[in-house]
Structure 1
Amino acid sequence: MSADPVLARIDADLPQALDRLMALLRIPSISTDPAYAEACDRAADWLVADLESLGATAEKRATPGHPMVVGHIGEGAPHLLFYGHYDVQPADPLELWRRDPFDPALEETEHGEVIRARGASDDKGQLMTFVEACRAWIAEHGALPCRVTFFLEGEEESGSPSLVPFLKENAEELKADIALICDTGMYDRQTPSITTQLRGMLREEVVLRAASRDLHSGLYGGLAVNPIHVLARILAELHDASGRVTLEGFYDGVPETPPEVLEQWAGLGFDAEGFLGRVGLSQPAGEQDRTPLERLWARPTAEVNGIEGGYTGAGFKTVLPAQARAKVSFRLTGTQDPEAVHRAFVAHVEQRLPEDVTAEFPMGDGAPATRMDIDRPEFEAARAALSQEWPKPAVFAGVGGSIPVAGYFKEILGLESMLIGFSHDDDGLHSPNEKYDLASFHKGARSWARILGALARA
C-alpha cells in the first residue's frame, strides 16, 4: 500500500481535521483539579467515539483516578502501541491569556499560523496528528498497513498515579512490537527528531547538624564548627576542575555515544553560546572534554538545587547556625543504578565530616535512565520516513529530562519506544498562551502516515 494517496488525503482533509482537534481542545480536561473530573470523563468519551469512527474497537477503562482509553485496530505486523495523553495543565493565571484557553482559534504569528489553546501542543494536538494519519490510511486503503493499539492516558499532568497499576493489570493486552510516544518535539522547525535516550533522576537531600542551637558568632565564631562551611566544601568537591563528577563509581554504566549519532549531532550546528545567551550566560560549563549537546543529552550530571542554613531574612543576624541543608539532583544515563549513586553520595558526604558534625539524608529516591536500541530496523526506517517530510534529515536525539512512561513500557511491557513529536520550544507548554504550529499539526500527520508505511515495510 502506497503512502502517496494517504498524504494527499491528509492535505485535502486538513480543515475537517482541524475541526476535530478544536472540538477536543474545547473540553477543559484538567486532571489535577477535581472540579474538572467530568470534563476529563467527557474527553475520554470523545476519544472513544473518534476511534470508533475509524473502525477501532475502543473502550473507556475506569481507574481510581481519570479513565484510560484503549483501542485496537488493524492486523498484521508490526503491532504498534501508540501512547498519548488527553489531560492538560491548569490554565492559570487566566489574566495572562490573550483569549479563553478553552476557546481554540488559529492565529497568525511570525512563524506562520498557530493553534492557540490549552493542550494544543501538550498533548492533544500531538495525539491527533497520529489519529489523523490513521484516518487517512483507512480512508484511502480501507485499512491500516499494520496493527495498532491506542493507549491514551488521562493523568499524565497530575503524576500518572494510575499508570503503573494499569500497565501491570493489562500487560498482556498492551504488549506490542514497539511503542510510539508523541509527547516530545523537534530539534528545530526544519529538523525532526526521534528521542532515543532519556536521562534518569536521583533526588537527594542532606542535612548537616553541629551545635545544639544557633550560636552568637561573636562568642563562638572561630572556635565552633560552622555546618554551612562544611556543607559548602562537600558540595564543591562533587566536581573536579574539568567538570567531572567525583563520586566513586559514578560513571559505572555510562555508555559512550555511538560515533554515527555524534556525527548527526555535529551536523545540527548547535550554538551553545547562543543557547546560553538567551538566559544571560555565555560559557558552557560541565565536562570540558565533551561537546555541548553530549552534555545536555547523553552525559550524567550532579547539580545543587538549593542550600539553606542560618539567617536569610531581612537585615542582618550574626548567627552561627546549628544546621545546614542542601538538595542535590543527579541526572543519570545508560545503566547507572540510582541506588548505587545514592550510596556513593552518602559516602562522599560522610567521609568529609569533621568531628561534631553529623549528616542525615531525608530523601534518596530515583529512577534509571531509558536508552533505546537504535540498532533495531524500525528506528532507521522511521528516521528515513521523517527525513522525507521535512527540509532537513531527522536525527536521533537525547533529552536531558525524563519521560517516565518510556521507562515503564520497557520495564513492565518489555517494549522499546520511539518518541516522535512535533512541538517546539516556544509552544509555551504549561504556560499561558500555549500554541501548536499549524505546520506541526499538518506535517505531523503526514509524518506519521509515512512512518506507518515505513514500519509496515520494515
Structure 2
Amino acid sequence: MSDLDRALEAADAGLDKSLERLFALLKIPSISTDPAYRHGCREAADWLRRDLAALGFAAALRETPGHPVVLAKHPKPGAPHVLFYGHYDVQPVDPLDKWETPPFEPKIAVTKDGKKIILGRGSSDDKGQVMTFVEACRAWKAATGTLPVGVTMLIEGEEESGSINLPGFLEEAKDELAADAALVCDTTMWGEGRPAITSSLRGLIYEEITIRAASRDLHSGMYGGAARNPLHVLSAIVAALHDEDGRVTLPGFYDGVPETPADVREQWRGLGLDAEAFLGPIGLSTPAGERDRMIIEQIQSRPTCDVNGMWGGYTGAGAKTVIPAEAHAKISFRLVGEQDPAAVRQAFRAFVRERVPADCSVEFTGHKGSRAIQVPFDSPALTKTRRALEDEWGVAPVTIGSGGSIPVVGDFKKTLGLDTLLVGFALDDDRIHSPNEKYDLESFRKGARSWVRILAALGQ
C-alpha cells in the first residue's frame, strides 16, 4: 500500500473523530462583526491553535488590532511549501427565529432525499471547509508521521467583517509566510459531485460621478426646454458606455484582456450553462453582455461596466415638476487579465468629461481599485491539483473564474507574490450567510480526501 493509500484510509477511518472536532469548533460563537462575541472569536482561534499544535505544527495566536490570526507552520526541508488560508469567524445568525435548529448547536440531519448534512452556523463558511484541510493533514500524519509538503496555515478571524487588519499582518509577517503557492478553501463546487478550481478573479474599479448644472433646482414649467438638465446629460453618458453589441466603449478598455485558451472554452461550452439555466431562475431570458460571448464568459472571464445606482431631482411620492441641479451615478468596472485599474479609471473620467456640455460640471469620487488575478492555465500546481481532484471524484474538475473579487487573493499576489488556487467543497444551496446553514457530509468527507490527494500531488 502506498503512502497516499494509507493516508486516504486514515482519513476515512477517522471520520467520526473528525466530525467531533468540527462540532466542537462549530459550537463556538465566533461572530467577528459583533463586539459582544469578541471572546467567542478568541476562543475559536485558541481552539484551532491547540488542535494544530497537537498535530505537530508550531502554532501561535498572532495579535492584530482586531481578532487574532492563527499562524501555524510545519516545514519540510527540500519539499515545496504551501500557504493555506481560511477563516474561523462566522456571520451573525439573524433572524434567529428562521433557524430550524439552534445555530451553535451543530447536528447531523437527513434531507428528504436521504442525504446527510451538517447543520450549524459556519458549517460551510468556513469552519467546515477549513477542517477538511486540517483533517487531511491529520490523516497524513497518522499514516506516515509527516506531510508530503511544507505547510503554513493562516486562519484569520475577520473575513466576515472585511479583513481590515489582514493586509497589515501580511506585510509584517511576509517573511514568515514565504511559500510556493497559496491554497484557499472557501469556495463552491460546480455542482454536486463535480469539483471546481477557481483560478481567476476579476478586479474592480468603483466610481461615483456628480453632474451639476444650475445653481438650484428649477421649475420645469418655467425653465424646461431652455435650462440644461443634469439627468439628461448623465443618462446620455451612461447610455454611451456600451455599444449595440454589448461592448464597453471606453478607448483602450480592452487593452490587456486575454483570450481564454480554446480547450478551456470548449470545456466551458460543455457545462450547459445557457440563458435559460442561468437567467431563467431570476426572471430574465436574454443575455445583455457581449453578443459573441457565452454566458459563462460574460460572468467570469470578460470585463464589464455596470451602473449600480443613479439618482437626482425629486424621487418622493406624488409629483414635483423640477429640473434638478445635480444628478448622480455609481458605476463599477470588473476587470480581467492585465487591465490596469488606473488606466481604466483615467479613460472613464476622460470619456465623461468629453461629454459634459457647457453650463455643466462634473465631480468624481474614486474608490480603491484592484487588479484581476489569474493563475496561468499551464501552472504546474493547477495541473497537479486538477488531476488529484479527478482521481478523487471520478470526473474532471471545472476550471473556472469568479466574477467577483476576493481581496485576500489580491493581497497574496501583491504582498507575497503568490498565485492562489481556490478549491472549495461547498454547494450553492448551503445557505451561507442565511439561517439554516448546512454542509453536505459527503462534501466534508470527500473534501478531506481531496486535500490528502492534492498535498501528495503538490509534493511530487
* TM-score band, normalised by shorter chain: over 0.9
d(CA) in 1 for partners of 2:156, 2:168: 13
Cα distance, 1:395 vs structure 2: 2.1
Give SS of 1:40's match. helix
**Aligned amino acid, residue 10 of structure 2:** R
Task: Give the match for residue 200 of structure 1.
Answer: 203
Asked if structure 2 preserves the Cα contact closer than 8 Å seen for 1:145 and 1:456, the reply is yes
**Aligned amino acid, residue 170 of structure 1:** A
Cα deviations by residue, 1:132-170 (Å, 9 ceiling, x for unpaired): 011011111111112111111111111111111111111
d(CA) in 1 for partners of 2:220, 2:109: 61
Q: Where does 1:55-454 land on structure 2 (aligned, <5 Å)?
A: 55-76=56-77, 77-110=79-112, 112-454=115-457
**Aligned amino acid, residue 421 of structure 2:** M
d(CA) in 2 for partners of 1:451, 1:408: 23
Asked if structure 1 preserves the Cα contact closer than 8 Å seen for 2:311 and 2:327, the reply is yes
Cα distance, 1:373 vs structure 2: 2.2
Task: Give the match for residue 21 of structure 1.
Answer: 22
Asked if structure 1 preserves the Cα contact closer than 8 Å seen for 2:49 and 2:60, the reply is yes
Structure 1's consecutive aligned runs of 4 or more residues displaced over 4 angstroms after TM superposition are: none
d(CA) in 2 for partners of 1:297, 1:380: 20
Cα distance, 1:96 vs structure 2: 1.7
d(CA) in 1 for partners of 2:112, 2:149: 39
Aligned length: 457
Task: Give the match for residue 43 of structure 2.
Answer: 42
**Aligned amino acid, residue 215 of structure 1:** L
TM-score after normalising by structure 1: 0.98
* Percentage of matched positions with identical amino acids: 59
d(CA) in 1 for partners of 2:438, 2:47: 21
Cα deviations by residue, 1:264-310 (Å, 9 ceiling, x for unpaired): 21222223312111111111110011111111110000000111111
d(CA) in 1 for partners of 2:121, 2:139: 26
Where does structure 2 lack aligned partners over 5 or more consecutive residues?
Answer: none
Give SS of 1:324's match. strand
- After superposition, the Cα gap between the structure-2 partners of 1:110 and 1:202, relative to the gap in structure 1 and judged at 3 Å, is farther
Give SS of 1:172's match. coil
TM-score after normalising by structure 2: 0.97
**Aligned amino acid, residue 387 of structure 1:** E
Cα distance, 1:174 vs structure 2: 0.4
d(CA) in 2 for partners of 1:209, 1:114: 56
d(CA) in 1 for partners of 2:263, 2:159: 34
d(CA) in 1 for partners of 2:120, 2:335: 34
Asked if structure 2 preserves the Cα contact closer than 8 Å seen for 1:74 and 1:143, the reply is no
Cα distance, 1:354 vs structure 2: 1.3
Cα distance, 1:263 vs structure 2: 2.0
Asked if structure 1 preserves the Cα contact closer than 8 Å seen for 2:3 and 2:143, the reply is no
Cα distance, 1:365 vs structure 2: 2.6
Asked if structure 2 preserves the Cα contact closer than 8 Å seen for 1:31 and 1:40, the reply is yes
**Aligned amino acid, residue 277 of structure 1:** G
d(CA) in 2 for partners of 1:232, 1:438: 51
Is 1:5 the counterpart of 2:6? The answer is yes
Cα distance, 1:74 vs structure 2: 4.2
Cα deviations by residue, 1:379-414 (Å, 9 ceiling, x for unpaired): 111101101111421121100001111111111111
Task: Give the match for residue 34 of structure 2.
Answer: 33
Cα distance, 1:175 vs structure 2: 0.6
Asked if structure 2 preserves the Cα contact closer than 8 Å seen for 1:74 and 1:145, the reply is no
Cα deviations by residue, 1:208-260 (Å, 9 ceiling, x for unpaired): 11111111111111111111111111001100000000011111111111122
Asked if structure 2 preserves the Cα contact closer than 8 Å seen for 1:61 and 1:68, the reply is yes
d(CA) in 1 for partners of 2:406, 2:111: 30
d(CA) in 1 for partners of 2:81, 2:368: 34
- After superposition, the Cα gap between the structure-2 partners of 1:279 and 1:105, relative to the gap in structure 1 and judged at 3 Å, is same
**Aligned amino acid, residue 351 of structure 1:** E
- After superposition, the Cα gap between the structure-2 partners of 1:364 and 1:51, relative to the gap in structure 1 and judged at 3 Å, is closer
d(CA) in 2 for partners of 1:248, 1:98: 53
Asked if structure 2 preserves the Cα contact closer than 8 Å seen for 1:227 and 1:321, the reply is yes
d(CA) in 1 for partners of 2:449, 2:348: 48
**Aligned amino acid, residue 129 of structure 2:** Q
d(CA) in 2 for partners of 1:50, 1:430: 26
**Aligned amino acid, residue 261 of structure 1:** V
**Aligned amino acid, residue 165 of structure 1:** G
**Aligned amino acid, residue 207 of structure 1:** T
**Aligned amino acid, residue 281 of structure 1:** L
Asked if structure 2 preserves the Cα contact closer than 8 Å seen for 1:204 and 1:365, the reply is no
Cα distance, 1:207 vs structure 2: 0.6
Cα RMSD for the two superposed structures: 1.2
